[in-house]
A and B are shown apart, each in its own frame.
Chain A
Amino acid sequence: MLRHLFKLIWKKKKTHFLLMVEIFFSFLILFGIFSALIYYARNYSRDSGIKAEDVWVISCDFKTDSDSLRTIYAKQIVDVIRPVSEIESATVMSFNVPYEYSSMTNGMEYQDRRVQAEHILVDEYYPAVMGLTVNEGRWFNSADRVPGKYMPIVITGSVREKLFGTGNAVGEIVSDNRKVIGVVNDYKFQSDYLADQPAFFQQRSGDWQILVKVRTNQPGLLETRLARTIAGAAKEWPFEIRHLDKMKQSRNRTVFVPVLIGLIVGGFLVFNVALGLMGVLWQAIQQRREEIGIRRAIGASASGIVMQFLGEAWVLTAFSILLGIFLAVQFPILRLFDLDAQIYILAIVTAVVSIFALVTACAWYPSRQAAEILPATALHEN
């Protein structure tokens, strides 16, 4: 029967060309949608490595370009807010706060491997505020502030993987003068939907931002009190208090909204293709009433007719998506967009299953209609 279906389709290849093009493009659209969805879903399901809840960011404009002055001023602020009972812990860090749009990157080299990583300046209290876990080695302590031959750094899991693979990382020297003293696991600092970007931490002064971990049931009241306290210590410095969880939500939205728009547009396109498919199949079946009549007369049951038309649609789909699969397979082979090959493979499989489901859904109703054609009527129409 399959060979029979091939023959029928091959003979009508010109008629089916448009249909095949529609299915081909639908497949590519679905492949794109599923690649994005799987990528974002996979990232979302992974632990970010940091906890944004109850973390507030205090940004002060110290009105100076001096790093050392900024360090002193930031310490003054921290010293006045640390005694507040609702403050669990406080830390100071560089301007590239998680979920902020600011970024500072540096290249890191180890033997012949190289990675571009986010360079984050922190102090000893950062893990306590952000809920960061050190998996190997240790975090910075006050002794690390003393300048030495090597600058101590803590790297994230993705830097570890790229530079050291499964080998030892702690104690290794990277980029000639940096010594790895610890490894933290994941550090998704951009968005829950984005992949864990390589990053490393250095204990150093810089353009400081103050992060505090709070413990309160009345955040509004605490924020007012905190603002008053800071204003007392920093009369000439304008400051702003932001909530890290809200910054995270906002950043997540900026990633997710374009994806959602893409999904809606893609879904609309596929829906249009589905309508087109149904129309073309419907017309094709109407043109083949005589054939349906004769098939019924010589032994095809109603379900046999349904299966024949569904079978033709499936064979046509298989032909149509062959080129699409060939193109899609190039993405993992060429490592396009630097995504994991698994994402593309899963997207290909999902797109193939979906396109067959879509074609089946579109072909089902016209096929049922075909099966309901009375052979005696169809044979007497011609």
Chain B
Amino acid sequence: MIELKNIGKVYRTDTIETLALQQVNLSIRKGEFVSVMGPSGCGKSTLLNIMGLLDMPSEGQVTIAGKRLERLKDKELASFRNHNIGFIFQSYHLIPDLPVVDNVELPLLYRSVSAKERRELAKEALEKVGLSNRLRHYPSQLSGGQKQRVAIARAIVGRPEVILADEPTGNLDSAMGQEVMDILQALNRDGSTIVMVTHDPNMAQQTHRLVRMFDGSQVS
């Protein structure tokens, strides 16, 4: 499903060159639930950004669903992300001015989907995460766990094959974190391929495979 070959990433400024990733080779099968662990600054998020096409590698090849992606143009990349990848972030990144249902509808705004269908799909996604009774609430009216569930609903509303989660339980207490983990596992059982960056070994244990990173390199 996801193939990373010899991925390297260097951040350059006028005076400093920072090696964020070097020679990372990773293959993730369809339907797999993979967690990525490592100390802060080891390149986990950079790796996830490259998988999610939010950042381009300095070297190497990225292939998702059989498609080479590093040479795509901005519009093609945006469309590919929209149709194939769902993102979940540690700090939720919901738009505070929009109610829950509109936040969830967002990815569908960038497709030709009618308003009615958008609303139905958003409600369906919110039902999956147990928030069908919070459609009109604003993010500020929700708890951290609820916000993360809205973010998950937004990630799955477009039915992407891949879900990339960057420390999705990082801001939650263990009970709420487990709730979110349960939802991710349910999505995985339904066929989604999930890559999750985490600091929490308990969460990592619940995935199919653990990838360890250290100093920009993959160590296991």
Could you list which residues of chain A lie within 8 angstroms of chain B, going by C-beta atoms? 1, 3-4, 7-8, 11-12, 290-291, 293-304, 374-376, 379-380, 382
Please give the distance in Å from B192's CB to the nearest CB on chain A: 16
Taking a contact as CB atoms closer than 8 A, the residue among B49, B77, B91, B110 that contacts A298 in the complex is B110
Pairs across A and B, CB under 8 Å, 13 listed: A290-B93, A294-B93, A294-B94, A297-B81, A299-B82, A299-B107, A299-B110, A299-B158, A300-B78, A301-B79, A303-B75, A379-B54, A379-B89
Contact A299 B81 (CB under 8 A): yes
Contact B78 A299 (CB under 8 A): yes
Q: Which of B52, B91, B93, B102 has the most CB of A within 10 A?
A: B93
Residues of A contacting B93 with CB < 8 Å? Answer: 290, 293-294, 297, 379, 382
Residues of B contacting A3 with CB < 8 Å? Answer: 115
Taking a contact as CB atoms closer than 8 A, the residue among B55, B87, B97 that contacts A8 in the complex is B97
Counting CB contacts under 8 A, is B147 at the interface? no
Excluding A298-B87, A299-B78, A299-B79, 11 further A-B contacts by CB distance (< 8 Å) are A4-B109, A7-B102, A294-B87, A297-B52, A297-B87, A297-B93, A299-B82, A301-B75, A375-B54, A376-B55, A379-B93
Closest to A9 in B: B97
A252 to B107, CA, bound (A): 61
Contact B95 A298 (CB under 8 A): no
- Give the secondary structure class of B's interface: helix
Contact A8 B98 (CB under 8 A): yes
Please give the distance in Å from B84's CB to the nearest CB on chain A: 10
Contact B54 A296 (CB under 8 A): yes
Q: Which of A293, A298, A375 has the most CB of B within 10 A?
A: A298
Could you list which residues of chain B lie within 8 angstroms of chain A, going by C-beta atoms? 45-46, 49, 52, 54-55, 74-75, 77-79, 81-83, 87, 89, 91, 93-95, 97-98, 102, 106-107, 109-111, 115, 154, 158
A299 to B74, CA, bound (A): 10
A3-B115, A296-B78 known; A11-B97 Cβ under 8 A: yes
A291 to B87, CA, bound (A): 14
Please give the distance in Å from A285's CB to the nearest CB on chain B: 14
Residues of B contacting A301 with CB < 8 Å? Answer: 74-75, 77-79
Residues of A contacting B82 with CB < 8 Å? Answer: 298-299
Closest to A3 in B: B115
Taking a contact as CB atoms closer than 8 A, the residue among A294, A295, A302, A380 that contacts B74 in the complex is A302
Contact A376 B102 (CB under 8 A): no
Please give the distance in Å from B9's CB to the nearest CB on chain A: 11
A55 to B111, CA, bound (A): 73
* Number of A-B residue pairs at CB separation under 8 A: 72
A7-B102, A8-B98, A382-B93 known; A298-B74 Cβ under 8 A: no
Closest to B89 in A: A379
- Report the 7 A-B pairs with minimum CB-CB distance, sorted nearest first: A299-B82, A301-B78, A299-B110, A11-B97, A376-B54, A376-B49, A298-B107
Residues of A contacting B106 with CB < 8 Å? Answer: 294-295, 298
Contact A374 B55 (CB under 8 A): yes
A7 to B95, CA, bound (A): 12
Residues of A contacting B109 with CB < 8 Å? Answer: 1, 4
Contact A300 B91 (CB under 8 A): no
Please give the distance in Å from A371's CB to the nearest CB on chain B: 9
Contact B54 A4 (CB under 8 A): no
Closest to A382 in B: B91
Residues of B contacting A302 with CB < 8 Å? Answer: 74, 78
Taking a contact as CB atoms closer than 8 A, the residue among A12, A298, A374 that contacts B81 in the complex is A298
Contact A11 B98 (CB under 8 A): yes
Residues of A contacting B75 with CB < 8 Å? Answer: 301, 303
Please give the distance in Å from A261's CB to the nearest CB on chain B: 44
A290 to B54, CA, bound (A): 14
Contact A7 B45 (CB under 8 A): no
Contact B102 A4 (CB under 8 A): yes
Please give the distance in Å from B121's CB to the nearest CB on chain A: 14
A300 to B111, CA, bound (A): 10
A382 to B96, CA, bound (A): 14
Please give the distance in Å from B20's CB to the nearest CB on chain A: 11
Contact B45 A300 (CB under 8 A): no
Closest to B86 in A: A298
A358 to B75, CA, bound (A): 28
Closest to B81 in A: A299
Closest to B76 in A: A301
A294 to B158, CA, bound (A): 15
Residues of A contacting B115 with CB < 8 Å? Answer: 3
Residues of B contacting A294 with CB < 8 Å? Answer: 87, 89, 93-95, 106
Residues of A contacting B110 with CB < 8 Å? Answer: 298-300, 304
